[in-house]
Amino acid sequence: MTEYWPAGAPFDRFEGTVKPEWIDPNGHMNLAYYIVLFDNAVTALCEACDLDWNYTGRTNNGVFAAETHTRYKQELLLGERVRVHTWVLGVDAKRMHLALEMLRLPDLRQAATVEMMYLHVDLGTRRVAPWPTAQRARIEALAAAHAGCAPDWVGRRVMPL
């Protein structure tokens, strides 16, 4: 299915809702749950690329997050809904570079962004391993559709004091 992803369009098959148990004493969603929502969006991407838990069960391989950089732009409150846009920025023999943007619904205001590096791992050896051909082709198709579309916040670092 990813082979036919429209050029320039972010992968946007995940929406979520802020749950009561995610609200902290400040009255908004705790920072940890932004990551939960982003992780759910990556799961949707992995399902589209045949890299989901069924894949892990069949192959004893999995996808691990190796690095993340999160920016919190706007608080989210109880019951608010979000959509996550995902761009595949690159893929090589063993890695996948992603950018994700969380948008509040219905106004589509940016709530958070995250840039992530994922690794393909052989769970038997616990070592990074090459992507299988079919899965890599699906990731590459998304990367090709997203070529030249990286959001302007990609590649930033934490600003020093």
Tens of pLDDT, residues 122-131: 999 999 999 9
For each of the domains in the chain, give its residue range(s) and CATH number, in order of start: 2-146 (3.10.129.10)
Q: Structure tokens of 58? A: 């069949």
pLDDT per residue as tens digits for the range 49-58: 999 999 999 9
CA–CA distance, 71 with 49 (Å, rounded to integer): 26
Residue 151 pLDDT > 50: yes
Average pLDDT over residues 26-36: 97
Confidence label for 161 from pLDDT (cuts 50, 70 and 90): confident
pLDDT at 3: 53
Q: Mean pLDDT, the chain, as a whole number?
A: 94
> Beta 11-17 vs 81-91: how paired, if at all?
antiparallel
Instruction: Decide: helix, strand or coil at residue 85.
Output: strand
User: Across residues 77-86, what is the average pLDDT?
Assistant: 98
The end-to-end CA distance of the chain, in Å, is 45
pLDDT, tens digit, 9 for 90 and up, residues 87-132: 999 999 999 999 999 999 989 999 999 999 999 999 999 999 999 9
Instruction: Check whether 1 has a pLDDT greater than 50.
Output: no
Residue 6 has what pLDDT? Answer: 77
The alpha carbon torsion through 68, 73, 77, 79 (nearest 10 deg) reads -60
